[in-house]
């Protein structure tokens, strides 16, 4: 499962709701530096408050999944996200996604591909959408970007 799908499932469990009714996004990167956007969670299309206790429950589930998945050595991208994207794009829907693109000043970044919100259509990512982030989310996004830079520039980089 992709990060946003895992977050939807984890938040649904924490809220005791059906995962199909939850919309949630993860930005940053798909490893340990993922940034869940709890302040942007939707339940049946309406913003919903996720309490501190519910956030911790969802984060614990996400971390546990990541740890177990990492032990399996599985790929970071999964068929579920690709299938959902393909469905939306082939049905002419422009959808909001998170995708690794280089922001052009949005979020105070311009030199690294990092997962950020983008509307997409058959042409690809149309632009970076700069959502209002809390200070902790903004800091975590920059930490994720720094980690991506280190991986790209580090030993063995192409």
Cβ atoms within 10 Å, residue 45:
7
Per residue in 93-135, pLDDT (tens digit) is: 656 678 888 999 999 998 899 989 888 777 777 889 899 999 9
Reported in sequence order, the residue ranges of 10-157 that DSSP labels E, i.e. its strands, are 22-23, 26-28, 34-36, 42-43, 46-47, 95-101, 114-121, 124-125
Query: Would you say the C-alpha torsion 49, 54, 59, 64 has a positive or negative sign?
Result: negative
Q: List, in sequence order, every residue forming a beta bridge with 43; answer none if it has no partner.
A: 22, 46
| pTM of structure | 0.77
146 token code pair: 């720094």
- The model's pLDDT over 38-96, given as tens digits with 9 standing for 90+, comes to 999 999 999 999 999 999 999 998 888 766 655 555 555 556 666 667 767 777 665 66
């Amino acid at each position: 499962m992709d990060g946003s799908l895992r977050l939807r499932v984890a938040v649904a469990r924490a809220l005791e709701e059906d995962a199909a009714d939850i919309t949630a996004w993860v930005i940053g990167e798909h490893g340990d530096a993922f940034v869940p956007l709890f302040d942007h969670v939707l339940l049946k299309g309406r913003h919903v408050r996720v309490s501190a206790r519910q956030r911790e429950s969802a984060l614990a589930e996400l971390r546990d999944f990541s740890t177990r998945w990492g032990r399996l050595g599985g790929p970071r991208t999964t068929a579920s996200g690709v299938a959902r994207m393909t469905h939306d794009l082939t049905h002419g829907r422009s959808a909001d996604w998170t995708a690794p693109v280089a922001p052009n000043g949005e979020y105070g970044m311009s030199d690294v591909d990092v997962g950020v919100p983008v509307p997409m259509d058959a042409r690809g990512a149309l632009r970076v959408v700069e959502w209002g982030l809390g200070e902790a989310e903004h800091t975590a996004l920059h930490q994720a970007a720094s980690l991506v830079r280190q991986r790209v520039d580090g030993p063995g980089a192409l």
